[in-house]
Amino acid sequence: MLRKGLLDIFETALNRRTVFTTGVNFREVTDRKEMLKSLPVADEGTAGEKSIDVDSLIQGRGDRFPNSQIDSKRFDGVLFKDLPIINIRVSPNNTIINLTNAKGLPEIIRSCGIEGFKNTRKGTNVAAQATAITIGTKIIERGTKTARVRVQGMGPGRMSAIKGLQMAGINIVSITDNTRVSWYPPRPRKQRKL
């Protein structure tokens, strides 16, 4: 009975909903700025940033994040701190991947530009994936199979570079974000005029 009463109220409210149609006529989308404003924000290659996905986090909570035993943890018989590092430097216009040893000395470097992609094509996810696959196979030829990954910056190549490394057959132990973020940075460059 009570539920029915509530439903009735909802229904009448729905039928009487006021829809304003005059505002549409006043909108001006003649300008380029206006057009850009109405467009959806471009995806910058950070999948999962806005999604809410609680179950997977709770499920594997125990071992997801490093704890105090991190230094004694072994992966493929090698201590975590002695594993080689694959650095991925992502920017909107390019993706640079390099392999360093555990101390940080660089060994191989490869970028979308070296790979043969030029100009705007460098800054695509396809280019990043291709680069990651080539450097991944090279790393495996050198005899390294297990590595930890450190990502810096944001851009279209962020996810696809990691995926490419996995496709090349590298056993990725951990993913670290090393994006440089400051709350009190020196004054950045002026805004672009669109």
Partner 1 sequence: MRHASFIARTVFVQNNDVEAACRILNRILGREEIFDQFRRTRFYEKPYQYRRRVNFEKCKALYNEDMQRKIEFILRKNRVDPFPGSL
Which stretches of the chain bind partner 1, using CB under 8 A? 1-3, 5-6, 9, 44, 46-51, 53, 56-57, 60, 63-66, 70, 80-81, 148, 150, 154, 159, 162-163, 166, 171-179, 181-183, 185, 187-192
Measured from the CB atom, is 137 or 176 closer to partner 1? 176
Residue 100 and residue 21: Cα distance in Å, rounded? 61
Radius of gyration of the CA atoms of the chain, in A: 24
CA distance linking residue 186 with residue 179, whole number of Å: 16
Q: Which residue, 127 or 151, has its beta carbon nearer to partner 1?
A: 151
Q: Minimum distance between the CB of residue 56 and partner 1, rounded to whole angstroms?
A: 6
Least Å distance, CB 22 to partner 1, is: 25
Q: How far is 89 from 151, CA to CA, in rounded Å?
A: 6
**Smallest gap, in angstroms, from Cβ of residue 89 to partner 1?**
14
Residue number with CB closer to partner 1 (96 or 162): 162
Name the amino acid, one letter, at 69.
Answer: Q
Q: Tell me the β-bridge partners of 100.
A: 85, 106
Contacts of 102-106 spanning 24+ positions with Cβ under 8 A: none
Cβ closest to partner 1, residue 17 vs residue 50: 50
Q: What is the DSSP letter of 83?
A: S
Minimum CB distance to partner 1 smaller for 1 or for 19: 1
Q: How far is the CB of 112 from partner 1 (least distance, A)?
A: 19
Q: What is the smallest separation between the CB atom of 40 and partner 1, expressed in angstroms?
A: 15
The alpha carbon of residue 74 and the mean position of all alpha carbons in its chain are separated, in whole angstroms, by 27
Q: Classify strands 146-152 and 85-91 as parallel, antiparallel or unpaired.
A: parallel
Closer CB to partner 1, 24 or 41, in the complex: 41
Contact 153, 90 (CB under 8 A): yes
C-alpha of 25 from chain center:
39
